[in-house]
Structure 1
Amino acid sequence: MRYRILRLLLGLLLPFGLVAGTAVTAHAQDDGDVPPAEEPEFDVAEDPAEPAPEPIPEPPIDEAPPASEAPPVTEPERPDETNQRTGPRPDPDSSAVELIATVGLDGQFKQGEPTPITVTVEANRLLVGTLIFENRVERRTERLQVDIEVPGASSKQYVAVISTSQWEAMNATVELEVDGEVIEAVEVDGGYDSELELVGVMAQLASGREIPEASRLAVEGTGSARLHPISDELLRAGPDALAVYDSIAASGRDLDAMAPEELQNLLTWVDRGGHLYVDQVAAPVAGLPDPWQPTDLGWSRAGRGRVLLTGSQLGAGEWDQVLLPTPIDNGSVGIEFFEGGGSSFPLANEQRLSETLETEAGFELPSLRWLLILLASYVLLVGPIGYFVLRAFGRPQLFWLLVPLAAVLFTGFTWVTGSSIRNSTQAAHATLVEFNDGGAIARTFVYQNSRNGGDIGMVAPPSWNAATPIRTPSRSRPTTSLSAGGLRSTLSVGPGDFGLVGAVGPTDNYEHPFTVDYEQTGNGTIEGTITNNLDIRLREVAVFARGRADSIGSLDPGETERFRVFGLDDFDFGSSGGEYEVWGRFIDRGRSSRLTTVPTVNIALWDEYRTRQGPEARPMGEILVAGWTDALPSPATTLRDQTVEAGRTVLAQHFAVADAGDALTDMGSSRRMARGSNDLDFEAVTRDGQLDDFGGFGGFDQTVGLHQFSLPTEIGTVRLDLNRLAVTGLDRTDVAQVWDHDAQLWLSASDAALRDDIVLVPPGAARQGVIHLRWAINQENFWQNQTEITVEYVDEPSRYLTFEALEP
């Protein structure tokens, strides 16, 4: 509203006001109150009325064809699933060039996750040009460019990482530009299948062996795997390029031969939840840090991921005996996903990241009160005041001089005021740094203005990729250039305009901020102490576990405080994730109330992180600690190599719950959803002894799911005892089954075992430290407030019933 009043005021100031109105209100376009004038876009190739004529190259003078000879007609190329020609027809010289573009793994990718586009450029002659990747996702447009050089009679491979939507189909193109002209263009698209595991195979493991394109999984009824070799270019493209894979298979020689940059990208991928299969018999595994080395059990926890030894099974081709289903963090596959402590829905529906950064940048418009006073003063001066005063002095003809003079004075005042607003601003950032065991990933957004117009942007280190906020649709198109020297993202803006650019990638600029010591766990409660390891004060520190949280407040350098999160064993469907409990006063702000002060918590930034994590962001058995500070700069710099100091940074560190005693408690194993109601269809004996078919939602009569429990290798300092494991919380289920790798069967819990609510797990079901439990729950029982399904120790295993093969 203030923008409109200011424009009305300046519009009254004759021609001078019109000029100043344009300058002062330039920022209104970025805010969204004044929509910018957009030029219409035309796609000549798709115009049904009259296609544009193709340019016919002039032949050399000494080889001119007869006038009657028509130019050759090229047969149109049939589009295929992943490589479709688009745009204008290429120059004849492009016949020496071919683009082959593939998204993800042979066209398969994970929705909502970063995805690589691999482009192979084949050239018959020396080719120097630029690959331009343009991706349209959720009303945003990402534009990446990579300079290339391909020797004649050869081919080279290039990789760029793009964003994908959790809800929309992919819409991306790749163009090859030479000397400012597009000579080749292809469309790329792909699909998503939640029952398909995407497995990358490294070169040494594949060498001299026939690797199958597909394999069934070792757990019956959970889908299949697609296998594909991993290129060196993909390994060098950063950990986001590997996010397309659920699992990666390698030999010890693969890891030993990796370059340091490639190994770090692989370890970061594992740290964030990847499953690494190593085809060797025993530890040590080359390149792995000591805490990640597998024990004699054959596996180890590695951050949020796992390392699993496979002996020589992969080399022998026994993929279907090894590959396991992995957790699904993103995608809507059933209502049971909303019990995971996260959400795909925003906390602050209307608050945009750019708005929160306006205040950080120092941009502040005059209040509505002063705008109205200025408008009223001008109207009164050139109206009744001027008229009556000049008549009282007998000089009414001077009124014609008063009007332009007032216009000049008021225009000058508003122009100076608008210039001071623009000139007093600074670049500001919003940065989130996520820590796991092995390292950190930073996601930073920088908000800048240009006083005179031109390019703004950022420079980030190698292995970084462009990042665009989910809920900040951008009318402009940032262009990101990727090279061995790093990332450079630029955005062209007009005089006085602001813009937002972002990037994400691994960083070693930060120490792990927190140390957590557990003093007691069990009965749905996690408690202990948390210590600030940094030399800066952290504010609004909070501990999150599933759908609950505990507020710590501020932590000074080296300070230790107690925390306690309870109620984690209660089924908490549709939880907000605990944010309202600890940061509620920062959430209830919308675009209707512009921020006048800088809040400690940038809830729009946290919303960005929370949404990207997906509904299963905080699984059972893990906690997340987060704290805020304004003392850290952005890890990226401006185009002029200036450090961005102003802004907020949130440091978020994951911890796997470690039992302090000698028993595995209900919080001691990490539980994630591996398949949802839309992905399972199985027959099982029900409580009444009948054989029933469970699949989908069964007409909303029941829901089904597959839980994956990831076990530790030690309890305290004692080796995990596979003979003491039991599943609890099954009293509300109609069917509960575990997969036994030794028996190669789904074993069921009897009706009596379900009533006991504690069912012993056979050791064969815990191979590689993972238990797969599938269940069916009657809808009436599903909505009841029941206890959670967990895995824990029992003291006297012989007292309990176990899972067994049941006959109807």
Structure 2
Amino acid sequence: MFLAQLGFAGHAHAQAAITMRARVGYDGAYRLAEWFPVVVDIANDGPDVRATLEWRLPGRLDEQVFQRLVDLPRGSRKRVSLNVYTPGFVRNGQLRLLDGSTELLTQDVKLDAIDESVFLIGVASSDPALLNSLSSVQIGNFTSAHISHLAPADIPDSVASMRGLDAIFLHNIDTAALLPSQREALALWTSLGGQLVVSGGPGGQATAAGLGDLLPVRTVGDLAQGSLAPLAALAENAGATLPASTTLSRAEPQPGAEQLPPGSGLLFRQPYGAGFATFTSFDIAALRAWEGEGALWSNVLRQLAPATPGTGAHLSQFSLLDRGVLKLPSLSLPSPWALLLFILAYVLVLGPLNYIVLRRMGRLELAWITVPVVVLVFTAGLYVVGTLLRGGNAQYNQLAIVESSEGQARGHATSFIGFFSPRRENYTLAFPATTQVSSGPNQQFLNAQFEPVVVDEAGAPSVQLLADISSVTTFVAESLVDLPVQVQSSLTAGANGLSGELRNTGQVALDDAVIVRGDTFARLGTLAPGAAAQIANGSLEPNFPNGLGLSQSGVFDRQSMINLLFDRDMLQFGNPNTPASGPDTNSVYLLGWVSQPVLPANVDGQASEQNSLTLYVVRLNS
């Protein structure tokens, strides 16, 4: 009893000595069915504690729980980041700091769910009220806009957690002080369809310092005085009052950068992959009192629809492996003829054959022994055959989609993983650091049971699961990956379609490679490293994706996968607000297959073999 009291007193002292402050999502907002960041500052002025930071949704037993291990020695001050995910609409989340099973601290946080009909803008600025007027503007077909203010430290360091934002404004912050992972995420997020706006003016050099080639300008130089009057025409409000003179950053545009309005030197915009990067030579805060501010940005920002099939499938809340793409022999049912022959043999042996043998022996009274024996023999035989059919080993299956743009060294991978277990057993699956893992859609309706996703101090997640007999447990893993696929294209669009050349400059061969533009495509076949393919005018075929006619590859049905990924109706079934994910008609994409995994398989601490197939979707510079 005395020891128990000492333990309770120790925990009470630890609770009093630890403080926790959390910032969740994008200034409290999160995008439905998307990852969002949770940033927690923890201070410990008490005894050493090896704690677990846990994120959960109170009262939602069907939602994934996320945990992060954190070591808190006496006097420590730590900032801990945790990327979390929920597919549904929630109002509240809960953070708990645990020492084993003992709760040290609890903090409830309010959440503001943002659906796909709202244009979500993140603003990282020293000005806490910057661009608040944009909440009343309409951009494209979005019903409204939402402004979320972010501290520089709260800018997500992963594409998956940044993907919920449609546009990001950077103003009067030092981007050179951002983490390398934050800058890399900004670049890849933009290339996959994000819109980045960087402010110039007095703080322009610091704001542009860490962004390099991402900007549409080469250099941001000294300051000069200039007029903002040309912006009135861009805002379609020529009579609006603008400052007669303001401080501008001298900027040298990149080749091909667009000036808005033309020749004004005020806004520079350039495509970056599927997205846009914009630099303003003026301080965007100078437009605060201008009545045309909202109209200007509603004309500069766009509603983009890049081809992001992996992201679209995840947003639509279905797993490719649950829709007939995975063809495991272990899950195949015996043929009806085999079942019929088995039943016929069972009936014949149990009835006529048993009777004939016993009658010839003159021992019909032994039937009470032979009948149970026959039943046991057939039952044992059926069990043995079933065991042989499903195999004795667990199977790890990974189907991945990697999205990138021509010239990028890294891409964003969405891996749909199916883990088959022939028996009821516990497993631990581990993933590389910075991978974001969640249970598969509708996982609560399966027999497999998920424990929390636990992220260690190095950022590597692991999942424990209790798999049922002959079950496939699915989950989704997202990560940044190095691209073994590199291409160089010189394609031009004409009245008769596309023409030009595409060369594989990467390290691996692409199987069943195709060029896709809208609902048309050109077959390239197998494209070996160093090989080039010519696309001639008139070579595009109609009816993408159904007209591809792809064959099965191992345990994966390629054609079924392509149909699911680019079927707009299917992708919008799970979430009616999800934008169509098929290739936009103004862009050209390369699709190719590689029978290599993007993530290693680690089961119970050991490297494991896996069935794998990866589809690369590369937006071409055409």
User: Fold-level match, TM-score > 0.5?
Assistant: yes
Residue in structure 1 matched with residue 160 of structure 2 by the alignment = 240
Alignment of 1:272-287 (within 5 A): 272-280=192-200, 285-287=208-210
Residue in structure 2 matched with residue 432 of structure 1 by the alignment = 401
Residue in structure 2 matched with residue 159 of structure 1 by the alignment = 81
- Contact 1:356 1:604 survives alignment (8 Å): no
Mark the CA change 1:211 to 1:646 in structure 2 (over 3 Å): closer, same or farther.
Answer: same
| TM-score relative to the length of structure 1 | 0.57
1:446 correspondence with 2:409? no
SS of the equivalent of 1:324 reads helix
Aligned residue type for 1:582: L
1:200 correspondence with 2:123? yes
Give the superposition deviation at 1:479: 3.0
Give the superposition deviation at 1:506: 0.5
Residue in structure 2 matched with residue 379 of structure 1 by the alignment = 347
Give the superposition deviation at 1:638: 1.9
Mark the CA change 1:454 to 1:467 in structure 2 (over 3 Å): closer, same or farther.
Answer: same
SS of the equivalent of 2:338 reads helix
Of the candidates 311, 336, 344, which is equivalent to residue 281 of structure 2? 311
SS of the equivalent of 1:141 reads coil
- Contact 1:426 1:449 survives alignment (8 Å): yes
Of the candidates 579, 589, 603, which is equivalent to residue 545 of structure 2? 579
CA distance in 1, matches of 2:113, 2:365: 77
Residue in structure 2 matched with residue 600 of structure 1 by the alignment = 558
1:146 correspondence with 2:68? yes
Residue in structure 2 matched with residue 681 of structure 1 by the alignment = none
Mark the CA change 1:141 to 1:529 in structure 2 (over 3 Å): closer, same or farther.
Answer: farther
Residue in structure 2 matched with residue 301 of structure 1 by the alignment = 271
CA distance in 2, matches of 1:247, 1:465: 22
CA distance in 1, matches of 2:593, 2:349: 51
Of the candidates 348, 351, 359, which is equivalent to residue 327 of structure 2? 359
CA distance in 1, matches of 2:425, 2:182: 37
Residue in structure 2 matched with residue 511 of structure 1 by the alignment = 485
CA distance in 1, matches of 2:510, 2:396: 22
Residue in structure 1 matched with residue 231 of structure 2 by the alignment = none
Mark the CA change 1:369 to 1:425 in structure 2 (over 3 Å): closer, same or farther.
Answer: farther
SS of the equivalent of 2:465 reads strand
1:488 correspondence with 2:462? yes
Of the candidates 366, 375, 379, which is equivalent to residue 407 of structure 1? 375
1:224-250 per-position Cα deviation (integer Å, ceiling 9, x unaligned) = 6624233536544x2222223333333
1:411-458 per-position Cα deviation (integer Å, ceiling 9, x unaligned) = 332332233222266322111111124330111133233455444354
Give the superposition deviation at 1:584: 8.7
Aligned residue type for 1:310: T
Give the superposition deviation at 1:567: 11
1:622 correspondence with 2:587? yes
Mark the CA change 1:482 to 1:389 in structure 2 (over 3 Å): closer, same or farther.
Answer: same
- Contact 2:89 2:113 survives alignment (8 Å): no
CA distance in 1, matches of 2:310, 2:540: 16
SS of the equivalent of 1:366 reads coil
Give the superposition deviation at 1:462: 2.5
Mark the CA change 1:310 to 1:431 in structure 2 (over 3 Å): closer, same or farther.
Answer: same
Give the superposition deviation at 1:650: 0.7
SS of the equivalent of 2:64 reads strand
Structure 2, gaps ≥5 residues long: 218-252, 260-267, 573-577
Give the superposition deviation at 1:649: 1.3
SS of the equivalent of 1:416 reads helix
Mark the CA change 1:357 to 1:446 in structure 2 (over 3 Å): closer, same or farther.
Answer: farther
CA distance in 2, matches of 1:292, 1:340: 23
Aligned residue type for 2:619: H
CA distance in 2, matches of 1:105, 1:349: 22
1:377-399 per-position Cα deviation (integer Å, ceiling 9, x unaligned) = 22332223212321232111222
Mark the CA change 1:489 to 1:527 in structure 2 (over 3 Å): closer, same or farther.
Answer: farther
SS of the equivalent of 1:359 reads coil
1:555 correspondence with 2:526? yes
| TM-score relative to the length of structure 2 | 0.72
Residue in structure 2 matched with residue 20 of structure 1 by the alignment = none
Aligned residue type for 2:399: A
CA distance in 2, matches of 1:507, 1:597: 24
Aligned residue type for 1:300: Q
Mark the CA change 1:350 to 1:148 in structure 2 (over 3 Å): closer, same or farther.
Answer: closer
- Contact 1:252 1:286 survives alignment (8 Å): no
1:211 correspondence with 2:175? no
SS of the equivalent of 1:216 reads helix
CA distance in 2, matches of 1:309, 1:291: 10
Give the superposition deviation at 1:136: 10
Of the candidates 648, 651, 655, which is equivalent to residue 613 of structure 2? 648
Of the candidates 20, 30, 48, which is equivalent to residue 109 of structure 1? 30
Give the superposition deviation at 1:291: 7.3
Aligned residue type for 1:428: N
CA distance in 2, matches of 1:458, 1:373: 41
- Contact 1:137 1:163 survives alignment (8 Å): no
1:653-710 per-position Cα deviation (integer Å, ceiling 9, x unaligned) = 11354xxxxxxxxxxxxxxxxxxxxxxxxxxxxxxxxxxxxxxxxxxxxxxxxxxxxx
Of the candidates 173, 176, 190, which is equivalent to residue 270 of structure 1? 190
Identity of aligned residues (%): 17
Give the superposition deviation at 1:132: 2.4
CA distance in 2, matches of 1:542, 1:285: 38
Mark the CA change 1:366 to 1:538 in structure 2 (over 3 Å): closer, same or farther.
Answer: same
CA distance in 2, matches of 1:254, 1:199: 16
1:355-411 per-position Cα deviation (integer Å, ceiling 9, x unaligned) = 646535755443332233223322332223212321232111222221232233223
- Contact 1:600 1:628 survives alignment (8 Å): no
Mark the CA change 1:491 to 1:231 in structure 2 (over 3 Å): closer, same or farther.
Answer: farther
Residue in structure 1 matched with residue 476 of structure 2 by the alignment = 502
CA distance in 1, matches of 2:506, 2:59: 38
CA distance in 2, matches of 1:287, 1:623: 30
SS of the equivalent of 2:65 reads strand
- Contact 2:498 2:540 survives alignment (8 Å): no
Of the candidates 190, 197, 200, which is equivalent to residue 112 of structure 2? 190
1:635 correspondence with 2:596? no
CA distance in 1, matches of 2:472, 2:177: 47
CA distance in 1, matches of 2:566, 2:540: 27
Total equivalences in the alignment: 539
- Contact 2:485 2:507 survives alignment (8 Å): no
Mark the CA change 1:646 to 1:604 in structure 2 (over 3 Å): closer, same or farther.
Answer: same
Mark the CA change 1:564 to 1:343 in structure 2 (over 3 Å): closer, same or farther.
Answer: farther
Alignment of 1:166-181 (within 5 A): 168-169=89-90, 172-181=93-102
Give the superposition deviation at 1:115: 2.1
Aligned residue type for 2:514: A
Aligned residue type for 2:338: W
- Contact 2:423 2:467 survives alignment (8 Å): no
1:137-188 per-position Cα deviation (integer Å, ceiling 9, x unaligned) = 99963232111244667764433223344x7456754433322234536365
SS of the equivalent of 2:450 reads coil
SS of the equivalent of 1:161 reads strand
Give the superposition deviation at 1:491: 2.0
SS of the equivalent of 2:620 reads strand
CA distance in 1, matches of 2:508, 2:620: 21
SS of the equivalent of 2:413 reads strand
Residue in structure 2 matched with residue 708 of structure 1 by the alignment = none
SS of the equivalent of 1:211 reads coil
Give the superposition deviation at 1:464: 1.9
Give the superposition deviation at 1:519: 3.2
Tell me which protein shows more strand as a share of its residues: 2
Give the superposition deviation at 1:540: 3.5
Q: Which has the larger radius of gyration?
A: 1
Residue in structure 1 matched with residue 235 of structure 2 by the alignment = none
